[in-house]
Amino acid sequence: MFFQEIINNQILKTTLLAWAIAQFLKVFIVLWTQKKWDFTRLVGSGGMPSSHSALVTALATCIGKNFGFDSGEFALALTIALVVMYDAAGVRRAAGKQAEVLNQIIDDLYHHRTEFNRERLKELLGHTPIEVVAGAALGITIGIIF
């Protein structure tokens, strides 16, 4: 019964659909812009559009539609959405830039020492503001349609 309720949860299904569409779009946007298939974009963070933003805005939109845009549930969902989107464009983006600088330092050191550990850090962690806005627009659209 518990699992059946989860499977039948329309808000959850719509929210996950928004996330999945955003992840699939990343693969095709990379194909279009870089002329290569990159299926790691299906599960990776960062990139256009923000799947985090799509997920939380679809959630907030569905909750607003179901419980009212003046409800406590919507206020909670919107607050969480704003925190997630701020984090995606702020903290995670800054961490990605730091990884980029550290990787450059590693490259510079590696070329001067042959026994240096050359483990690379993941640079694509956060989102640009336009990626966050695009993800939010996608999430709202999916939330309204489904």
pLDDT category at 1 given cuts 50, 70, 90 is confident
36: buried, middle or exposed (CB in 10 Å: 19+, 13-18, 0-12)?
exposed
45: buried, middle or exposed (CB in 10 Å: 19+, 13-18, 0-12)?
middle
pLDDT category at 58 given cuts 50, 70, 90 is very high
CA torsion angle 16 20 26 27 (round to 10): 160
pLDDT value of residue 121:
57
pLDDT value of residue 126:
67
Tens-digit pLDDT profile for residues 59-115: 999 999 999 999 999 999 999 999 999 888 777 667 777 777 777 887 777 777 656
Cβ–Cβ < 8 Å for 18, 143: yes
In the numeric block, which tokens belong to residue 61?
């939109």
